[in-house]
Amino acid sequence: MKEQIRQRAFDLGFDGCRFTTAQPPAHAKEFQRWLSARRHGEMAYLERNAAKRVNPELVLAGARSVITLAASYGEADPACSPGFSRPVQSNNDENHSRSPSQVHPVTGIIARYARFADYHDILGPKLKELAAFVDRLGGRETRSLWYVDTGPLLERDLAERAGLGFIGKHTNLISRTHGNWIFLSEIITTAALDPDPSEKNHCGSCSRCLEACPTAAITAPFQLDARRCISYLTIELKGSIPIELRRAIGTRIYGCDDCLAVCPWNRFAREGSIMKSRARPDLDQASLLELLELNDAGFKTKFAGTPVLRTKRRGLLRNVCVALGNAGDASALPGLTRAAADPDAIISEHARWAIDEIEARVGFMSASTLS
């Protein structure tokens, strides 16, 4: 039955399929301590369903097995793999003396996974089909539930126990055959399936991910303070971004790949069969000035069918304002002035911060020139 399920998963396009038990995850206590330390920030849903996350039987009564699946969103040519997210370019300072028509457009960085159609929409139907296949194989009494990054499961813990990969020092799952660029999903089932061997950690003495984090959110190996993570700040956080962290965000406007991109296991990254046809190359170079002008309808049209919709217009424009402030390009001042009058208080506050940042830099440069 296991091999039939695995083959069906591969036929559906998944790049990995492994099996484990529905026993509580090994790091349940660490997860509970992490919550107690409030390192999850405003992600209240993690606390609300914490009991289920540490006990899969509360998710599905009678659960005996978990099928863990991976779908790669890597690139075919490792040479094309991005390294660190672009830092703010120093040559932007030269733009202050140029007219807007002479200035190259400042672009924002969107995390690689979000430069595809929304993986929930892509993987969901395939998981539904695979779960139905499991139920048919298991017989009338078999029940299965599927999740793609939405269920109350400690999915990285379960994936490591199933041998799908190992949890790196950045707290993400790393596959020895696909690197860091993978989506995880699960099917929890009442079917009894023999577990696969677990994966052991292969980080060794490497600490590149800790060194790469722009905000020092990885406080120690295998320890993440989500409240400092740029992915949290630009996606999960709904209110104002802490002022002390804004400059470190650079021109990232949706998520951050830095800790993933520097991992040496990415040399094994492969192009995934499911995702490769769903890329959104128009999001590789997102003009910040164009994004700043989006109204609600324009935002929904621009990002239809992508994960970026999750931030809503206010979240994205908040991030765009921070990115423009960090880029320091004086040509952004007219657009930021309009944004400062936006009826949304979050957008207007971040726009004013960006204006202050740019004007301070322009003033400093002018003073330096005169001296």
User: What does the alpha-carbon distance between residue 109 and residue 316 come to, in Å, rounded to a whole number?
Assistant: 12
Handedness of CA 259, 220, 150, 108 (dihedral sign): negative
Is 149 a known active-site residue? yes
User: Which residue in 77, 93, 135, 149 is the catalytic one?
Assistant: 149
- Phi and psi at 46, nearest 5°, equal -65, -35
List residues with catalytic annotation.
149
